[in-house]
Structure 1
Amino acid sequence: MQALRLILSSSILLACAILVGCSDAPNAVNLDYHQRLQTQLELADLTPYSDRHKLKIPELKSAESSTISLIQLARLQHCQIGQLIAEHNSQLGKVASPSGEFSYQIQFLQQLPKCLSNLDDDTLTAELKKVFNNKRANLFLYWQQLVFNDKQLASLYLPFSHSLLEVNEESKQTTFNSLQYLADSKHAVISDNVDTIKVAALEQQLSGLFKNAYLPSLLRALYEQLHLLQQQTELLKTVSFDSLCKKGHHNQKAVILSNIFSKFYGSKIQQYHNMLLREYSYVAPSLKTLWQDKQGQPYPSELAVHPLKLDEALKIASVNHVSWWQTLYKQCGIQPGGY
């Protein structure tokens, strides 16, 4: 039965390679590793990974609206901000994108002080300062709307279809630049230093993440590997070492298992994990900034492992997996690789 299972699974992997060129897919290596173990051990099959929504969308408060009358607007026509407000008002009735609304709030806060310095109307100046203070107080709400509701950022935490196989350096650099821009913008919002935000670059940076598979496929790969490895370790823990390690015997089955471990986990899967962890460390600082609230607390996730803790979780899972094998070596009196 075990031999038949291996033949069938090998046929599936071969067909996969012929049809879509996926023989090098990391999850295929995990599957092959497990099926090789099943030729020697009574282990249940692995449950495939199904990607899920990474973060809960928080209940976002609506920012208090602050309006400028037509009379007030007419007195601002000599200022650049007058045109900005007029263009924004002309879009009333249309649903502005979160990025468009955030951009407007930033430009308003950047441009109004310049206008007020040349405005010879104390009453209007006082009213505009109230509007300014209101927008500044609500700016982080607009930031959150951007992060969670703008469609160009949705792929960062929605379910994704495939795991990262190899790194496209151009996509990686584009992702890093966009994340760094967003992280810098958030710092500017929190520190009330909005003049440093290059708002003209916002849409370009968002488009750098839109339909860019690097980050969502990296996150999916980490979750998938964690899911498979944790399962595998728990299944191995059900195996009795007494059935594998008998005193005075050669323990051939344990030797075969050790060779399987070295060939698949030691030389392929672990190498892939190291690559994923290296890539994750590249984006983690900016991602951490993006996915924390104003108080520096991570936005909640329904997943057992928060996406900001993936590296730590995979390292722990790897240690637990290797620990089982170390116990096998000790119990059976063999060396890694079977010698």
Structure 2
Amino acid sequence: MQYSYRLLIILIATALLQGCDQRPAESMLERYSNRVANSLDSDTELDLNIPLQLPPYPRRRERIQPVTDLRQGLIEVLNLRHCQLINLIAERNSSLGKVMPPSRQVVYEIRLLFRLGRCQQTLKQPQAEADPQLIRQIEDIFQIKKASFEAALWNGIFTSEAMERNFSLSEPPLALTDDDGFSQSRQALLIFNQLAALNNATASFQPEWPEPDYLDQLEPHYQALSVLRFGSRWLRSLYLITYTLDHTARVIEQRLEQRPLCFNNRATPQALIVKNVFNKYYAGELQPYMARIDREGREWLQLNHSLLQNFNDIPAAMQRYQSLILDPDGPLWQNYTSARERHTKAWQQLLSQCNLMPGT
């Protein structure tokens, strides 16, 4: 409850800080680019009421992996009494258990695997006097669940509503303030990386291993991704920044092709106006926002990329999405860095004509 309250406070604070402007990031980007155009006598205006030309997150049926479900058979084998599995199994077979969200299903699968492993060890103790047939059945079930454990982990993370919302293309860009939910989303992805790392760990599973101690604290992290939707908002922010940088660079390049802004490195009154636009709207507004989107985005991409590296069997649709969006060296990030370099080069050429480069 306290975690949910904090998330609500963040969202309210962000809304209040944005004031009456319903699209503060877009307004800032348009203001910057259009001021540059005006100062260069260009009538090319930037309008960011545009659709995102990004691939959508794969549909759920393209992401889900089949998992062997042995609930009823397991009850028959254990006769509702062995290895302290009765409560876990009963919960899964309840009316609510049958419609568990992915976040709860993955907890069930993890606990079931760990408890089955310990069950094998317990039943093999001489004092247990267990039926050899029962031991073989438990071992068979353990191997079946172990074989589908990767799919269970995958579904628990990547078929969740929280993850879907984190990659939606319908959210607004991140706010101009620092209250953007990055730290909570980062923490959630760090926990998910721990969760996914169990996939490789179970290859050398030891029955004495304790269950992960964070299983009861997973839900708030799913909620953070679902409510804050940092990823969705970051994708729009980066796309709009990339579009703005390319558009503004083109405006500057067109002016450079027409006629010089200055001659003999002597600053003209118009050049001083252009430099003032650079200082006020680029250095003062866009650059700090862009630096934050860059810094947080690189870490967000790396966390998502690392998360996927824990899995050996990734659906084809997710492989394509990973290569286009989540690869730190993929097209999404490369388009941004190319636009940034083009924009920087255009400004350098323009200001160098007038001996107005920063530091000169």
- In the superposition, the TM-score normalised over structure 2's length comes to 0.74
Show structure 1 runs of 5+ residues with no match: 1-16
Partner residue of 1:104 out of 84, 87, 108: 108
How many Å apart are 1:321 and its aligned residue? 0.3
Partner residue of 1:301 out of 321, 325, 331: 321
Query: 1:157-236 residue pairs with structure 2 within 5 A?
Result: 157-165=167-175, 166-168=177-179, 171-192=181-202, 195=210, 197=212, 198-236=214-252
Identity over aligned pairs, percent: 19
How many Å apart are 1:252 and its aligned residue? 4.5
Partner residue of 1:73 out of 55, 73, 78: 78
The answer to whether the aligner puts 1:261 opposite 2:278 as a matched pair is yes
In structure 2, distance between residues paired with 1:29 and 1:190: 46
Query: 1:231-310 residue pairs with structure 2 within 5 A?
Result: 231-245=247-261, 247=263, 252-292=269-309, 294-295=311-312, 299-301=319-321, 306=326, 308-309=328-329
How many Å apart are 1:304 and its aligned residue? 6.0
- For these two proteins, the number of residue pairs brought into alignment is 319
How many Å apart are 1:184 and its aligned residue? 0.6
CA distance 1:242–1:70, change in 2 (3 Å): closer
Partner residue of 2:88 out of 55, 60, 84: 84
How many Å apart are 1:23 and its aligned residue? 9.1
Match of 2:5 in 1: none
How many Å apart are 1:213 and its aligned residue? 4.3
How many Å apart are 1:141 and its aligned residue? 1.4
In structure 2, distance between residues paired with 1:246 and 1:71: 87
8 A Cα contact 1:183 1:290, kept in partner = yes
Amino acid at match of 1:26: A
Amino acid at match of 2:104: G
1:238 alignment partner, SS class:
helix
In structure 1, distance between residues paired with 2:211 and 2:283: 48
How many Å apart are 1:108 and its aligned residue? 0.6
In structure 1, distance between residues paired with 2:158 and 2:254: 42
Structure with greater proportional helix content: 2
CA distance 1:195–1:218, change in 2 (3 Å): farther
Amino acid at match of 1:323: K
- In the superposition, the TM-score normalised over structure 1's length comes to 0.78
CA distance 1:295–1:320, change in 2 (3 Å): farther
1:272 alignment partner, SS class:
helix
In structure 2, distance between residues paired with 1:294 and 1:338: 49
CA distance 1:112–1:69, change in 2 (3 Å): closer
8 A Cα contact 1:163 1:220, kept in partner = yes
CA distance 1:223–1:303, change in 2 (3 Å): farther
CA distance 1:114–1:246, change in 2 (3 Å): closer
In structure 1, distance between residues paired with 2:313 and 2:108: 25
In structure 2, distance between residues paired with 1:305 and 1:78: 47
In structure 2, distance between residues paired with 1:317 and 1:125: 63
How many Å apart are 1:303 and its aligned residue? 9.5
